[in-house]
Every structure is written in structure tokens, then in C-alpha cells.
Amino acid sequence: MSKVQTGKNVNLEKVQTRIENHIDTLSTYTATPGRGTTRLTYSQEDLLARQYIKEKMKEAGLSVREDGLGNIFGKLEGSLKDAPSVLVGSHFDSVPNGGAYDGPAGVVAGLEVAKLFAENGLAPKYPLEVVALIEEEGSRFGGGLMGSRGMAGLLTEEDFKTLKDKDGITTVEAMEKIGLDPSLPKARDQKSVKAYLELHIEQGPILEEKNIPIGIVEAIVGLTQLEVTVKGQAGHAGTTPMDRRSDALVAAAGMIAHFPGLAAAEGDGTVVTTGRLQVYPNGANVIPDQTVFSVDIRSGKEEHVQNVIRRVKELAESYHDSGVEITIEQPLYIQPKEMNKEIVSLLKEKSSKLGYPSYPMNSGAGHDAMVFADYTSTGMLFIPSKNGLSHCPEEWSDSRHIAEAVQILFEAAAELTEAE
């Protein structure tokens, strides 16, 4: 039993066991069992995870609702009438063949913070809300950070309704298929939220290398996603001379081959990635007539992101006379974001009061917290990722570190909700 100086009882071993059960159960809700977590938004796997999360919210004594995007909220009412809530949570969708901790570690932490409120009989003045957000990765509908952007009013109803997955299924059709109601409100009044706290795995090697269990995020890099479409001319692979081709894949490959050089030219940790490439008609003996590929650009400095976007557009221009037509969409653009300074110092103070070493750091990954940074007082905790791996089946973090982060979030949420 670890007696927290502030007089709240937290049995870390018990919390850790519950965390392991949550993570293990959620990790079974995958479309690729044995090959990592694939839980796309509004899929059957989403539905199973959603049902589990809502059940655990109810067990923790929370009142549960879902908004017009499918974000899940578990609320512990406060004694102050119409007071803004302190939100604790993360996302519960995944990348294809991803890991079990990216997102769920933060949702599970929220569930455990609420459980500790219940076990300690804490009555908050400001409500506590556990939140499980949808489509942070953008793996099904593109862009990403959809649950938080929708809540913050950055996604119009029209934009939402036009989003389709690779099979042409719309968000509305997919939501209704799993019993969600897209007509419910999506944007949430900023005045109804006092703070947002998120635990996330670091997804990099720093904390593990420094052997420090807790990272306190000070800023999140800016990130942009481009979608490039190259239109050429399909043709016979055997009878079409090389000098009479408009090969959409050769043009795409030519552009992509330049991207590492663009990142290096900017420096300052700028990174450029093409993670998704679709080839049409994708026949071995057919010259591709269309390719669509993603360009993920990140940097701590916005000017580098802007420079890379400009260089990608110039590269596309350079193919102007080569018989292909190249168009570029920008489904997501977010500037680098600072976390709220009071929240950062609160998390630092609670970590040291509990005796957990912590390390101030920036995030190279994007998170819902970067959307909420402009919407409410926002802070993030990181825990180490084994071998710095993430977005792959090997992703793993220590449930003990999650439990320790839960204890910090519990203390911070108790203070922010003025619970007694």
C-alpha cells in the first residue's frame, strides 16, 4: 500500500493489476489478431472497445454519454452547479498493425483516476470526466485528431459528413452501423471544460535511455499531412515503349525519393514520411495510371514545415511536362503547441511529491492534447516505450509506469477539481 503524502490511499499493486487487465482486454479488440492492434474508428473492434470502456466507466460510478462523433465521456458530477469539467483521457483507435498502448494507456489511466476518486470517496467541486476519443490516428478517414478537433469546433458538420474511408463508406454510415447517433452535438462549449490531462506512451527512446519513469511534456511538434495524387495513363507493360509512358508510380517514387533530403536540408529534427501509397490499378503487368500517397511532415519549428510543404509543391510542379497530373490536398495542418504552464508545473509538483523522477521534454508525435492546447488548460505525461518502439506490434510499456502516472494524474485531478 503506498500512502500518498496527501492522505489519499493508493494501492499501486492493485491499480497496476487493473491496468494490465484493461490493456490486455482492449488489445484483443483488433482486426489483426497476432499481428498487432488494428482498431479502426467505428469498426466492430471499435464497438467492442467502446462497450468495454463504457462498462468500466459505469463500474467507476460515472454517468456515460457519447457525442455526435462517438467520443465517450464518463462524468463524475461536481458539487458546483454548471461548473466546467476536468477531462482525463486519450484516444482508443489505432494505426494499422499498431501497438496496445498508443491511446489506450491514457484512456485506462483516466478510468483508474476515476476509480481512485471512488475508492477514496472523493467528492469533486468541479466535475471529473474520463474521455475516450475517436480517430486520433486518422487511419480510417484521414487527417487525424478528429475526435478532439470535432469537440473543439474545428471540424464543420459538412467536412465531417464528406469524410469517406478507402471503401467509400462515409463517417455517418459507419457510425450508424455500430449504433452511434451522428446527429448529436459534436462541438463542445469551451466554457464546459476546465482542463485536459493526457497520459501517453513516449513512442521514442529518451525516457528509457535516461531510465526516468515520467516525462512531462512542454511542447508538441507541429504536424502536417499532405495527400498527393498522381494521375498518369494506364497501359500494357509489355507493348508500351519506355519513352511513351505516363507512369504514375515512377513519378510518385521520384518525388518520394527526395523527401529525406528535404528533411535533412531543414534540420532541427524535421522529419518527412510517406507511410501510405496506393497504386491503381495495381496490376503487375499494367502501367499504373494513378497513385495516391501520404506525406507526414513534422518539426518543432513551423518555418521548417512550411518550407517542406513548399518544396513538395515545387517537386510536383517539376513533373508538369512529363505527362502526369499531380494534385496535393492538405487534410491536416497543426502548428507546434505549448502545454499550459500551470498544468506543467502542477504535474511536476505532484511527481516530485510522490517521489517519481520526471523529465521535461517535447513530443515528436502528435496528440489530441495539441488540439486541446488552444481550447483549455492542457498537460501531458509520458512514460517510457520499450526500445523506443511504437506504431508496431512490438510496442510495450510497463504497467507499473502507467500506475505511477495514474497516481500523479489522480493528485493533479483531485487538486484541479477541488475534491475533498
Could you list the residues that contact ligand HGY (CB under 6 A)? 136-137, 144, 365-366
CB 365 to ligand HGY: min, Å: 3
Q: Name the closest residue to ligand HGY (Cβ).
A: 365
Kindly determine how many residues on this chain lie close enough to bind Mn ion according to the rule CB under 5 A: 2
Using the minimum distance from each CB to ligand HGY, give the nearer residue, 101 or 117.
101
Nearest to 254 by CA among 358, 352, 326, 181: 326
Q: Taking CB positions, which residue lies at the least distance from Mn ion?
A: 102
> Residue 289, Cα to own-chain centre: how many angstroms?
33
Rounded to a whole number of angstroms, the minimum distance from the CB of residue 32 to ligand HGY is: 18
* 279: three-class secondary structure by DSSP: strand
Binds Mn ion (CB under 5 A): choice among 45, 67, 102, 208: 102
DSSP string computed for 334-369: E--EEPPHHHHHHHHHHHHHTT--EEEEEESS--HH
CB-nearer residue toward ligand HGY: 297 or 316: 297
Strand pairing category for 85-91 and 193-201: parallel
State the minimum distance, in angstroms, from the CB of residue 154 to ligand HGY. Answer: 16
**What 3-state class would DSSP assign to 328?**
strand
Instruction: Check if the beta carbon of residue 267 is closer than 8 Å to that of residue 218.
Output: no
Q: Which does 411 bind (CB under 5 to 8 A by kind): ligand HGY, Mn ion, none?
A: none
Q: Report the residue number, 113 or 145, with the smaller CB distance to ligand HGY.
A: 145
**Per the structure block, which three cell numbers stand in for 307?**
518550407
Minimum separation from the CB atom of position 249 to Mn ion (A): 28
Which one of the spans 103-111, 141-149, 175-183, 217-225 is the region binding Mn ion (CB under 5 A)? Answer: 103-111
CB-nearer residue toward ligand HGY: 98 or 288? 98
CA distance linking residue 129 with residue 71, whole number of Å: 12
Compute the distance between CA of residue 392 and CA of residue 399 in angstroms, rounded to an integer: 18
Supply φ then ψ for residue 298, to 5 degrees.
-140, 145
Output the smallest distance, CB 208 to ligand HGY, in A. 18
Q: State which amino acid sits at residue 348.
A: K
Nearest approach, Cβ of residue 275 and Mn ion (Å):
11
Q: Give the binding range for Mn ion (CB under 5 A) out of 98-106, 117-125, 167-175, 263-271.
A: 98-106
CA distance 351 to 164: 43
Does residue 266 bind Mn ion (CB under 5 A)?
no
Q: How far is CA 21 from the centre of its chain?
A: 22
CA–CA separation, 402 and 406 (whole Å): 6
The C-alpha cell 454519454 sits at 65
144 binds, among ligand HGY, Mn ion, none (CB under 5 to 8 A by kind): ligand HGY
Q: Which of residues 104-163 bind Mn ion (CB under 5 A)?
A: none
Q: How far is the CB of 267 from ligand HGY (least distance, A)?
A: 20
Other CB atoms within a 10 A radius of the CB of residue 272 amount to 25
Binding site for Mn ion (CB under 5 A): 102-103
